[in-house]
Amino acid sequence: MKANIPKTNQKRVVIIGGGFGGLKFARKLAKYDFQVVLLDKINYHQFQPLFYQVATAGLEPSAISFPFRKVFQKEENVVIRLTEVSSVNTKESFVVSDVGEIPYDYLVVSIGADTNFFGNEKIKSNSLPMKSISEALSIRNRILQNYEEALSVEDAEKQQALMNIVVVGGGPTGVEVAGTLAEMKKNILPKDFPELKFERMQIYLLEASPRLLSGLSQKSSDKSKEYLDKLGVNVRRDTRVKDYDGDKVSLEDGSLIHARTLIWAAGVIGNKLEGIPEDVLIRGNRIKVDRFNRMEGSANVFAIGDVCFMTEEKFPNGHPQVAQVAMQQGENLAHNLGRILKGGEMKCFSYKDLGSMATVGRNLAVVDFPFMKVQGFFAWLIWMFVHLMSIVGAKNRILIFINWAWNYITYDQSLRLIIRDPKKKK
């Protein structure tokens, strides 16, 4: 069954996924004479770097989301379909989706990456990932529900497990969520739950490698550890999680941590799409592409962002799986297809590293620019400005700024709502 897509004489470009790369590509390509078909399972763009603030009740989901149809209201050549793509046929050039088969002239795979549990199904079943807004809300629900339950538990050990939180993964997400939880422990939770003794609550950050923030400089790594220590987070490096049963975290050294909440931020793996040849997939399900983001062995299939693997002189092991790479690849590819349309030649992609950053807490952040490294209050201001300007939509920027300003003045937010499907048990 063919999908109901408007007929056109324009070349059709089908994009699977509206993340950072897919959205940037679609917005740039809409200026050219193509029919742009954007396919996604959800009808909005998610700003992933701030998921942790939704998970810790600092922002509402709507503040970091923006509907695709609102983005492309004025673009007549952009077609949006809310659907899940089950497979692609690269030989006959069509994708198979819930709404039917969609032929394409060019296909851009921008399906991103998901949480990597490294094959441990028990950890996958019992821990909480944070790769979507719904997962961030699940974390918020779990944390708040656990404290509600702790009020009714008399057994000290069970109450302790309900209060403890373990974060696995010392990258930006793990560092940011651990720091925010520590500030909640100090400024917010004791006021909400005065019957509980929060000096007993323990927040653990577990990292398998020798240092935190491995993508940043050693100085920033050391400084983030110093900030977390100051906030009271139990940071354990060179520590691997062996198992988790929903109550006890088993470490490879044989020790146990009792915690009913484990947030897993330890790695990513590319989302897999049926029909992509196995011989172009490398470790982590990443698709091998050339310097034009063209899939190896194909003339009209491209991949951008976390799901693609490209090497260049400065990045012989591939680019980091971060938003800036995806956005730069999306923009370069859009202009390349525009050049093809005009009979020109494509230009190779070259990643421009604009820097990396992470916030640890109030007035505490680390920023690595290619030309300088900053820590502390000034880095925190830079972090806020960069993230605020990266949000899609002026209204969202204003809402987030107001939320941040209010939180800075009052040390509090009133967003601690337990929202869940009424048909599901807690």
Question: Using CA atoms, how far apart are residues 45 and 13, in angstroms rounded to an integer?
Answer: 19
- Reported as type and span, the H/E element at residue 69 is helix 68-71
Two tokens, residue 116: 């990597």
* Residue 187 · residue 179 · CB < 8 Å: no
Nearest to 116 by CA among 253, 279, 249, 283: 283
Asked if 176 is an active-site residue, the reply is yes
What is the chain's alpha carbon radius of gyration, rounded to the nearest angstrom? 22
Q: Which residue shows structure tokens 């806020």?
A: 384
Nearest to 97 by CA among 40, 25, 174: 40
Q: What letter would DSSP give residue 271? A: P
Q: What letter would DSSP give residue 237? A: S
From the list 60, 84, 149, 176, the catalytic residue is 176
Question: Using CA atoms, how far apart are residues 253 and 265, in angstroms rounded to an integer?
Answer: 20
Query: Where do the H-state alpha helices sit in 151-282?
Result: 156-163, 172-187, 189-192, 218-231
Question: Using CA atoms, how far apart are residues 297 and 288, in angstroms rounded to an integer?
Answer: 9
Residues labelled as active-site residues? 176
